[in-house]
């Protein structure tokens, strides 16, 4: 198994990077959210990797941390979740947000990701909740309430990523009786500050 790759970033694509490690250049699939953090071609990068082998393909997946890689490896054990869907989850949400969604049983959060329906989100929660409760070392983010779920859907409908919308909503103090519209308005103000 190839546990990590360190080398020079040669090029960046939408969901792939090419890294020159010694005399070999490797194409590595990465979460879209990681690409901008890797720097420009010519910079040195270190990716924690997972080698995925099937009958028809051998692919290398890279992550910023070993914890992200471990979560990816847990996700692909779930029936119906392949590497592409697991990568889409890690692109749309941080590892801590995914783990929090699974531990809190928040299928609405997970189903916001393209390619993940309510049934698949419920299966992920059922299969991984116990495993993550025992061993997750990241930050557990508070569960998304129903009003947050509606506000999240509204913000993503306006073109914001799930990650951006979650960060904006978590920065707002939860006040009892606050309408979804008010939460969206305050979240938009948070997003405008960035």
Tens digits of residue pLDDT in 123-141: 999 999 888 877 666 554 5
121-137: burial string, b at 16+ Cβ within 10 Å, e else: bebbbebbeeebeeebe
List CB contacts of 79: < 8 A, sequence separation 6 or more: 123, 127
For the record, the structure tokens of 59 come out as 């692919």
Domain that holds residue 8: 4-63
What's this model's pTM, rounded to 2 decimal places? 0.74
Residue 153 within a domain: yes
**What is the 8-class DSSP label of residue 126?**
H
| pLDDT tens for each residue of 2-19 | 889 999 999 999 899 999
Count how many domains the chain has. 3
Asked if the structure places residue 141 within a domain, the reply is no
Q: Name the token pair of 34.
A: 């990681």
pLDDT tens digits for 16-44?
Answer: 999 999 999 999 999 988 988 898 999 99
Closest-CA residue to 188 (of 174, 177, 171): 171
| 71 and 36 part of one domain | no
**pLDDT at 142 exceeding the cut of 80:** no
- State yes or no: pLDDT of 70 exceeds 70: yes
């Amino acid at each position: 198994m190839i546990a990590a790759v360190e080398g020079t970033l040669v090029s960046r694509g939408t969901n792939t990077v090419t890294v020159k490690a010694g005399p070999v250049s490797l194409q590595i699939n990465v979460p879209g959210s990681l690409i901008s953090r890797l720097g420009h071609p010519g910079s040195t990068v270190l990716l924690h990797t997972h080698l995925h082998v099937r009958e028809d393909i051998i692919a290398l997946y890279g992550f910023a941390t070993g914890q992200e890689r471990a979560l990816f490896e847990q996700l692909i054990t779930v029936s119906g979740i392949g590497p592409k869907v697991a990568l889409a989850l890690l692109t749309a949400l941080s590892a801590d947000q995914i783990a929090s969604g699974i531990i809190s049983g928040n299928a609405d959060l997970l189903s916001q990701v393209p390619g993940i329906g309510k049934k698949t989100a419920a299966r992920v929660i059922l299969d991984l909740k116990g495993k993550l409760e025992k061993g997750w070392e990241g930050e557990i983010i508070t569960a998304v309430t129903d009003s947050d779920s509606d506000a999240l859907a509204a913000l993503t409908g306006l073109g914001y990523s799930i990650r951006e919308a979650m960060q904006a909503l978590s920065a707002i103090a939860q006040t009892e009786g606050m309408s979804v519209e008010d939460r969206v308005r305050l979240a938009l103000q948070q997003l405008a500050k960035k």
